[in-house]
Structure 1
Amino acid sequence: MTLSEKDTLYNWHPYTQHKNSFPHPVIVKGEGALLWDENGKEYIDAIASWWVNPFGHSNAFIANAIYKQLTTLEHVLFGGFTHEPVIQLSEKLSQILPSNQNKFFYSDNGSTAVEVAIKAALQFFYNKGEKRIKIIAFENAFHGDTFGAMAASGISFFTDAFKGSLLEVVRIPVPTKGNEEKSKQLFRDLVATNEYAAFIFEPLVQGAAGMIMYEPEVLNELLEIAKVNQVFTIADEVMTGFGKTGKNFACDYLNEQPDMMCLSKALTGGTIPMAVTSFTQTIFDGFYDSDTNKALFHGHTFTANPTGCAAALASISLLETEEIQQNIQQVHQQHLAFSERIKSHPKVACTRVLGVIFALEIKVEGKHDYYGELRNTLYAFFIANGIIMRPVGNIIYILPPYIVSDVQLEKVYSTIEQALEMV
């Protein structure tokens, strides 16, 4: 029995309808922007394996930091104990995040980072004796798969089966060009009711929706409105964080800053599952009380895992190097050049670029499902041509490792051009 056959026998993959899926390639090796399967076929990882590997696969610098930590202290419970790597990591995060982010709560992944933020927002008002049990989110948002994060998400087929079990979320339009005033006015009306604990958003780019982009100026206005009405703001930077938008964080484009931030994915350079939810001192103080019941009773077995902290410290140190910052700008320029080259193609509706993120909407008739025939045809075509990309409906996007070469990017671009000729 082959590895692929054993995989089919035993494993249940995410976001997969196994009845109509084809056998998954068995990846056995990765280096830089490349992956190889069991048959020796080479793939360019054009989405950094769901946006987590900005410095490429098998990065020796991060691996050495992990090895060193493993031979010193692999794990210790964070309930009642602490350790040097987490103290160093929190100190580093306080230096690179917006200046109002003062306290750090560790968990396991993007969904749990969001879950912690939502629970903290709701309990903050509960601790004060106020009833605020609703939150505001954007339409077509995606914040994760745990129950609070799923409730905040607006892509219906992810959540339809659980509608009756989710907390109440009211959605406003994404303030894309032409929708700014509508989004702001509805937001003003909602926050004025004093019923909402928080507003959660993906800053500047909605990832799972197809890299939908909007401007920082309108987000600044929404944050100002929230602040005046004492509604907490939660920036979900799980996708956008650590350089993807051309700055360390998408919130670095803003004048106003969120009350909470959710980080994961590229935090450890794609090596170890880990997440952080950061908070202002004001939120932390809402739990600081002689009444034990007002504590945030939330935790994970591997909270603040020392090995993950070591990986995160190594990853952040790479992000701050001049070489990586130059690479980010180089990828950005390559994307802009490709956008100019492809945007007038008769099958291209529009293109979008921010930092290392590129998105292209294919001009098609009618509605195309998220995992519909067009998307599946494109996905199979890219895999057959040695490119790992996951189109969203009629949207193709690239979000490569920062160390991707110009030659590798050109192959990705030319393969997209070939794909357009077959749709």
Structure 2
Amino acid sequence: MTMDHRTTFAGPSPVWHPFTQHALAPEPPLVLRGEGAWLTTATGERILDAISSWWVITHGHCHPRIVAAIRDQAGELDQVIFAGHTHLAAEALARRLVALAPAGLAHVFFSDSGSTAVEVALKMAVGYWRNIAEPRSRILALEHGYHGDTIGTMSAGARGIYNAAYEPLLFDVTRLPFPAQGREEATLTALEAACREAPCAALLVEPLILGAGGMLVYPAWVLAEMRSICDRHGVLLIADEVMTGFGRTGRLFACEHASVMPDILCCAKGLTGGALPLAVTLCRREIFDAHYSEDRRRTFFHSSSFTANPIACAAANANLDIWDEEPVAERIAALGALQEERLARFHDDARFASMRRLGTVAALDLAVDDPGYLAGIGLELAAFFRERGLLLRPLGNTIYVMPPYCVTAGDLDRVYAAIAAAAEHFGRG
């Protein structure tokens, strides 16, 4: 079927949308175009994308350099099996990522989403211990963590509404208390105790900020101490930088704030500037070497049909070109300052609590009688913002702002004016 902007569809849509309760959700807008920080619908409405379309868009929608790279690659090589073959875009990207990532990460495994990047990391860790004849399978993870929706990543994530229906499929992990302000030592004590109690394969963490868990922030020194404890007990550290990578926290990778080198690092979302699905799992040489053998049973058995898709890799290389050749770090610093200035207006507002910012990410909690992810206020807030031409998707009563780096001061003024209006409409205090 050939479609243009005038295309209409008869009858209800057969589409089943992610994280959507269709019995409660309004009809979604049909988006036709994206440019910079803005989306345009079929009715001509413009929507400010204040959450980077689920945290993926970094430099802006349809960035011309990324679009051109996709177009060029699509006309040259669209896809090739990556088992037993390679291609220029993947080879270049892997080398560039190793050069940019924290020192010591020497190998790059490609996949296609954040969930699979973390799933790969868990399998790498368990496979490493098995292949060096010291089997370990115990995984440690932070309370409130979220790592994806595959079985392994759901198992490692916080148990609750995201995965309650699938509990029989999940494996147990040891959970550490979140290092909330003033309670950081409790987390470190729990990690030390868990490592002493029994051999552990790996500690999986979102470095410095937990995304879907509520944009919860903890200090860099805690991450550094967790690294030290893992070192003392020979536990692998997996950094889930799916959200935090590519500048969200003010550095290219969040681990840089703590000068931490993880044993395994996961990236997705911003890897292609948000244009196409691509993910990587980087690991230390020792982990690769544990799978390197003439014994085929030690092969790392993981793949997807579109591993290292050439078009996606070309988009990622274009993204890295933008980082190399444009003042991206300056844009990120400026965006962080703009966020801080606008967040400050709510610091003495009793209708809000826990104002927090890390790099380009800002969040605050609206004071309501029924907080939490499933609270109806989340849907009401999303609809409230949507009526004002804003794409904001609160986590229950937690409102967060995570825009593309090209957003303007005027755009942010519009976002924060709507947040103030939401406080007038819904808040208490």
TM-score with structure 2 length normalisation? 0.95
Aligned to 2:164: 160
Answer whether contact 1:204 1:216 (CA < 8 A) is retained. Answer: yes
Give, in angstroms, the shift of residue 232 of structure 1: 0.7
For 1:249-264, list aligned pairs within 5 A.
249-264=253-268
Give, in angstroms, the shift of residue 5 of structure 1: 6.7
Q: Which segment drifts farther, 121-130 or 375-384?
A: 121-130
Give, in angstroms, the shift of residue 155 of structure 1: 4.5
Structure 1 residues 209 and 6, CA, compared in 2 at 3 Å: closer, same or farther?
farther
Aligned with residue 204 of structure 1, among 198, 204, 208: 208
Answer whether contact 1:243 1:319 (CA < 8 A) is retained. Answer: no
Answer whether contact 1:131 1:195 (CA < 8 A) is retained. Answer: no
Paired amino acid for 2:402: L
For 1:47-126, list aligned pairs within 5 A.
47-126=51-130
Give, in angstroms, the shift of residue 205 of structure 1: 0.5
Paired amino acid for 2:110: Y
Give, in angstroms, the shift of residue 128 of structure 1: 2.5
Answer whether contact 2:102 2:260 (CA < 8 A) is retained. Answer: no
Answer whether contact 1:4 1:23 (CA < 8 A) is retained. Answer: no
Answer whether contact 1:4 1:24 (CA < 8 A) is retained. Answer: no
Give, in angstroms, the shift of residue 19 of structure 1: 1.3
Identical positions, percent: 38
Give, in angstroms, the shift of residue 206 of structure 1: 0.3
The C-alpha deviation readout for 1:12-57, integer Å capped at 9, x for no partner, is 0001111121111111111110001111111000001011111111
Aligned to 1:134: 138
Answer whether contact 2:37 2:49 (CA < 8 A) is retained. Answer: yes
Aligned to 1:240: 244
Paired amino acid for 2:281: T
Aligned to 2:3: none
Structure 1 residues 137 and 298, CA, compared in 2 at 3 Å: closer, same or farther?
same
For 1:385-396, list aligned pairs within 5 A.
385-396=388-399
Q: Which segment drifts farther, 262-271 or 7-16?
A: 7-16
Answer yes or no: is 1:405 the counterpart of 2:408.
Answer: yes
Aligned to 2:149: 145
Aligned to 1:275: 279
Give, in angstroms, the shift of residue 73 of structure 1: 1.1
The C-alpha deviation readout for 1:93-131, integer Å capped at 9, x for no partner, is 011100111000000100000000001111111222333
Answer yes or no: is 1:415 the counterpart of 2:409.
Answer: no
Answer whether contact 1:117 1:262 (CA < 8 A) is retained. Answer: yes
User: Equivalent residue of 1:151, what SS?
Assistant: helix
Aligned with residue 371 of structure 1, among 370, 374, 378: 374
Distance 1:5 1:381 in 2: 27
Structure 1 residues 214 and 176, CA, compared in 2 at 3 Å: closer, same or farther?
same
Answer whether contact 2:70 2:311 (CA < 8 A) is retained. Answer: yes
Structure 1 residues 91 and 7, CA, compared in 2 at 3 Å: closer, same or farther?
farther
Answer whether contact 2:81 2:306 (CA < 8 A) is retained. Answer: yes
The C-alpha deviation readout for 1:239-286, integer Å capped at 9, x for no partner, is 000010111010111233110000000101111111000000011111
TM-align CA RMSD: 1.5
Answer whether contact 2:375 2:397 (CA < 8 A) is retained. Answer: no
Answer whether contact 1:107 1:113 (CA < 8 A) is retained. Answer: yes
Distance 1:201 1:6 in 2: 46
Distance 2:65 2:351 in 1: 43
Give, in angstroms, the shift of residue 364 of structure 1: 2.5
Structure 1 unpaired stretches of 5+: none
Structure 1 residues 246 and 321, CA, compared in 2 at 3 Å: closer, same or farther?
farther
Answer whether contact 1:176 1:215 (CA < 8 A) is retained. Answer: no
Aligned to 2:43: 39
Q: Which segment drifts farther, 123-132 or 250-259?
A: 123-132
Paired amino acid for 1:255: S
Give, in angstroms, the shift of residue 322 of structure 1: 4.2
For 1:305-344, list aligned pairs within 5 A.
305-344=309-348
Distance 2:10 2:162 in 1: 28
Q: Which segment drifts farther, 106-115 or 156-165?
A: 156-165
Q: Which segment drifts farther, 224-233 or 192-201?
A: 192-201
Structure 1 residues 291 and 7, CA, compared in 2 at 3 Å: closer, same or farther?
farther
Aligned to 1:25: 29
Distance 1:375 1:14 in 2: 16
Paired amino acid for 1:174: F
Aligned with residue 14 of structure 1, among 4, 14, 18: 18
Aligned to 1:214: 218
Distance 1:114 1:256 in 2: 18
Structure 2 unpaired stretches of 5+: 1-5
